[in-house]
Structure 1
Amino acid sequence: MDDHRRTGGSLIGRRGAPLQIVRALRSGHWPTLLGAWLHFEVSFMVWLLVGALSIAIASELGLSATQTGLLVAVPLLSGALLRIPVGISSDRMGAKRTGLAILLCELAGLGWAWLGASSYLHMLLTGLLLGVAGASFAVALPLASRVYPPAHQGLAMGIAASANSGTVLAMWFAPRIAELTGWQGAFGVMAAPVLMTTLLFAGLVQSDRRLGRTGAVAWRPALVDVGRDPFMYWLCGLYAITFGGFVGLSSSLPFFLHDHYAVGVVAAGSLTALCGLVGSLIRPLGGYVADRVGGLTVLPTILGAITLLLAFVGSLPTLPWAVVLIVTAVAAMGFGNGVVFQVASGRFAKQMGIVSGVVGAAGGLGGFLLPLCLGWLKDLTGTFSFGFWLFAACAGWGLVGARYLKGQPRYAGDLPMV
């Protein structure tokens, strides 16, 4: 009987998986899930749009590497800082209402960049406004979670989180559009998918009254509670390396490739799009492997790989080797993103709302610091090497921290879920 069950289960697992996924998606309100995915997809695109157009902007405005690094980093900073208040707003004001407000802010920022921005200061202010797109994370994931039963929330949230592939849209299309219309015109053209998403989001997503809310005041004690746990600060640091590296490199790679290797605007965007695609697609695999063997078991290997790969990138090898190393490093970071959140869910299962906001904000802050340091150290030393070596040192610190956490008995709850 046991053999029959095992064999039958195996066959069902192999042949019935697509059908089970369809049934799982039908168990909740799939139009809301689609709306959440669209929101995060176009918002991630907008979040990295300044980075995608940084070469053209820097060339026209005559920016230094430090100025370009700051320009690219500003949207990442404002997105990081807004993730927590946007998460709170989703609970207090409603996720749908908050999501629509974010999309309208994105449209305002794109419109200003298209029709009004003409100086470096204007573009810095535009970056601050477009940074609100980075807070979409705190809308899309709660939406996906609230419209599905607990048994299928992992699938729903995984689908919503896969929309960080919006990186590909920004890096692939924006430079090509800019060649035809100029960088200001590219902002105008990229407003079209945001406008369409706004209309679809308004029609697809359930009303806030039907979605329900998780509590208007509960976030305060939850924030104080998780703030007392040192494990939270380790998670923030680790996510600042993995997600911060992913989004920071995605934003700064175009101007690095153009400045050091003289890669053309379109080619630099294409290579960055490849990195973003690989880093996005591999994230669910990181979570799956962490489920099987334990996140804290996997993290030292991932962080060790990131450390070595970035150290080699810092040696500034020939372009083909640099591309291979960077794509592999970004893939390791994307894998690590899934692992870190598996660890977070195991440690803070009852507080994942506030934990997602805090850890996500730390990741965005890491993304802000990376392009800023790359540009500043390039102007200071005349080479990008020291920026990559500094990032490699941070990843090395993360490796030491992950090994320390693994050896602590009080964190022994990090067990494989088989």
Structure 2
Amino acid sequence: MATAFWDRDKEGASAQSSAAPATSFWKAGHAPTLIAAFLYFDLAFMVWVLLGPLAPEISKTLGLTPAEKGLMVATPTLAGALLRVVNGLLVDRIGPKLSGAISQLIVIGGLFAAWFMGVNSFAGTLALGVILGFAGASFAIALPLASRWYPPEHQGKAMGLAGMGNSGTVLASLFAPMLAKAFGWNAVLGLACIPLSIVLVIYMVMAKDSPNQPAPRRLIDYFAPLKQGDAWWLMGFYAVTFGGFVGLAASLPIYFTDQFGLTPITAGYCTAACVFAGSLVRPMGGAMADRIGGVKALIAVYLVAALALAGVANAATLPAALGLFVLAMLALGTGNGAVFQLVPQRFQAEIGVMTGLVGMAGGVGGFYLASSLGLARQMTGSFAPGFLIFAGLAVAALVGIISVKRRWRATWSTGARI
């Protein structure tokens, strides 16, 4: 069976280039690569947000202020955002498989060094956050690695399944607080190297670059999409959907411990429930966008997210807040899949760099949300202003997607629903 999957290289390539009727999803691409992309993305996201679940313990040890806690958990998000552009360039120049291997080695080496030497200051947490940014930048590698094997009519499902690696944030929320209580939070950094190393071996065995790799271009050519307004729209839309998802994933352990006095382990369980909801629906969001169009899906996403985040700002009890966070994460996770159903419809030839650019915008949105929640808590004594402002950004995105939908449907002609 594995050999049969492995031998679908030519079938996947012809499915992309042929005008023949659409084949089933599992016959259209390269399943081992899709699985490898998911595993790489999943474990990378696990360590990308690792500082969030560990934040209550780190803060207690180092005596951090609310603003410092917010900046600590936001730093990996910003570093990952910027590094996604770098990875997008590498993907188009040396291929996604080699780019992914290099990134994984950097993260494993950085975590091992942090565990061996110890992290003893706020500056040290920021330095570690930059290293963890390489894990967050995996987004710009894993998605093109999977996407290039699949034709336009299956892009939403392929990108959604690979992107379901967002679920790695659930693993961090569930296990990091428990391991920190048992062994100390610094030991968690070393323990994380074990599953990362296992996945690296699996990745090297199973992943394979698509034969449809674009020819290398001049460095300046990679930024050509930024001259087109559609690129900025897609970046803005993802800054809200993914920015909201990852910003909440990193910040909720702090919110639950500070707002409701939960223990780090209980806060981790609550965070895991919210993050699991957003991760689970990402492939569903891609599949739904394949069926009804990414534009329709995003209109619903932004409306629900805005209402849920505004409700969180006024939630007085833990059950109310938890329910609204789950609703917000369901919407944002669906939106993540929907945006990346649209990206390859418009920028198939530049999918590597566009994945990096759009992913960067998502990371910037997450950095803003995580850091603004810490600042809001320190300046006003409440997280509410941070949630309300981000709800306003969701409303702005709703207005934006409505304003461009008619032009996109009239000018994009890929055969897939817009």
Tell me the distance in 2 between the aligned counterparts of 1:282 and 1:184. 32
1:63 is paired with a residue of what secondary structure? Answer: coil
Q: Which residue of 1 aligns with 2:410?
A: 412
Q: Deviations over 1:199-247 (max 9, x none)?
A: 22223334x6x857422216643521x2122222122111111100000
Quick one: which amino acid aligns to residue 288 of structure 2? V
What do the CA deviations read for 1:33-77 (whole angstroms, capped 9, x no partner)? 332222111101111111121111111111111000000000001
**Number of the residue aligned with 1:127:** 129
Letter in 2 for 1:334: G
Give the unaligned 5+ runs of structure 2.
1-22
Alignment-derived partner of residue 373 in structure 1: 372
Per the normalisation by structure 2, the TM-score is 0.87
Deviation, 1:391, is: 0.9
Against the structure 1 CA distance between its residues 348 and 29, is the aligned structure 2 distance closer, same or farther, given a 3 Å change threshold? closer
Question: Contact 2:283/2:337 (CA < 8 Å) preserved in 1?
Answer: yes
Going from structure 1 to structure 2, the CA distance change for 1:145 and 1:337 (only over 3 Å counts) comes to: closer
For 1:308-323, list aligned pairs within 5 A.
308-323=307-322
Aligned to 1:255: 254
Question: What secondary structure sits across from 2:138 in the alignment?
Answer: helix
Equivalent residue pairs, number: 394
1:270-289 equivalent positions in 2, closer than 5 A: 270-289=269-288
Aligned to 2:196: 194
Distance 1:165 1:147, change over 3 A: same
Aligned to 1:231: 230
Residues 31, 404 of structure 1: alpha-carbon distance in 2 compared, 3 angstrom cutoff: closer
Moved over 6 A (4+): none
When structure 1 is superposed on structure 2, of 347-356 and 168-177 the one drifting more is 347-356
Determine the C-alpha separation between the residues in 1 that align with 2:412 and 2:338: 11
Q: Which region of structure 1 is more displaced relative to structure 2, 289-298 or 37-46?
A: 289-298
Matches within 5 A, 1:250-399: 250-399=249-398
1:312/1:106 Cα in 2 relative to 1: closer, same or farther (>3 Å)? same
Per-residue CA deviations over 1:307-364 (Å, capped at 9, x if unaligned) read: 1111111113211100000110111111111222223333334433322221111001
SS at match of 1:297: helix
Judge conservation of contact 1:105–1:130 (CA < 8 Å) in 2: no
- Is 1:214 aligned to 2:241, yes or no? no
> For 1:338 and 1:88, how far apart are their aligned partners in 2?
22
Q: Which residue of 2 aligns with 1:141?
A: 143
Look up the match of 1:9.
Answer: none
Paired letter, 1:267: T
The answer for the alignment partner of 1:78 in structure 2 is 79
Quote the Cα distance in structure 1 between the aligned partners of 2:41 and 2:243: 17
RMSD: 2.5
Q: Say whether residues 1:62 and 2:60 are aligned partners.
A: no
Residue 45 of structure 2 aligns with which residue?
44
CA spacing shift, 1:158–1:387, aligned 2, 3 Å? closer
Which of 159, 162, 166 is 1:160 aligned to?
Answer: 162
Q: Residue 157 of structure 1: CA displacement?
A: 3.5
Report the residue type matching 1:47 in the other structure.
Answer: W
Aligned to 1:19: none
Aligned to 2:183: 181
- State the 1:413 CA deviation: 4.7
Q: Do the aligned partners of residues 111 and 239 (structure 1) sit closer, same or farther apart at CA in structure 2, a change above 3 Å counting?
A: same
% of aligned pairs identical?
42
The separation in 2 between residues aligned to 1:257 and 1:320, in whole angstroms, is 11
Q: Matched residues in 2 for 1:414 and 1:271: separation?
A: 41
